[in-house]
């Protein structure tokens, strides 16, 4: 909700900026990181229609880099970045 409010405020002032929400996962402890990552991804997809398939989700974890190439652009489609 706050990310959308911020995005609207930028648009109101003519700034072509898409704010990026960051979700940091804790250090790997067994399978906990995978379980947490999967849970976060499921919530983002089901409640907010944010996924890697529609380029609104980027993942930057050790050994897993998805949609990260456009994250640095101010007007990137990516809305959420999951990282460690």
pTM of the model: 0.82
Count the domains in the chain.
Answer: 1
Task: State pLDDT tens for residues 1-41.
Answer: 788 888 888 888 888 888 889 999 887 776 777 788 899 99
User: CA-based angle 17:19:22, to the nearest 5?
Assistant: 150
The residue range of the domain holding 13 is 2-83
What pLDDT is stored for residue 5 in this prediction? Answer: 85
What pLDDT is stored for residue 50 in this prediction? Answer: 95
CA distance 77 to 84: 21
User: CA-based angle 67:17:60, to the nearest 5?
Assistant: 25
Rounding to the nearest 10 degrees, give the CA dihedral for residues 67, 5, 39, 24.
70
What pLDDT is stored for residue 72 in this prediction? Answer: 83
What pLDDT is stored for residue 59 in this prediction? Answer: 94
């Amino acid at each position: 909700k706050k990310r959308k409010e911020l995005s609207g405020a930028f648009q109101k002032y003519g700034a072509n900026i898409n704010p990026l929400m960051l979700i940091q996962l804790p250090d790997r402890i067994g399978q906990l990181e995978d379980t947490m990552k999967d849970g976060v991804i499921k919530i983002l997809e089901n409640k907010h229609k944010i996924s890697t398939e529609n380029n609104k989700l980027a993942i930057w974890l050790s050994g897993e880099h998805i949609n990260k190439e456009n994250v640095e652009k101010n007007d990137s489609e990516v809305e959420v970045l999951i990282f460690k």
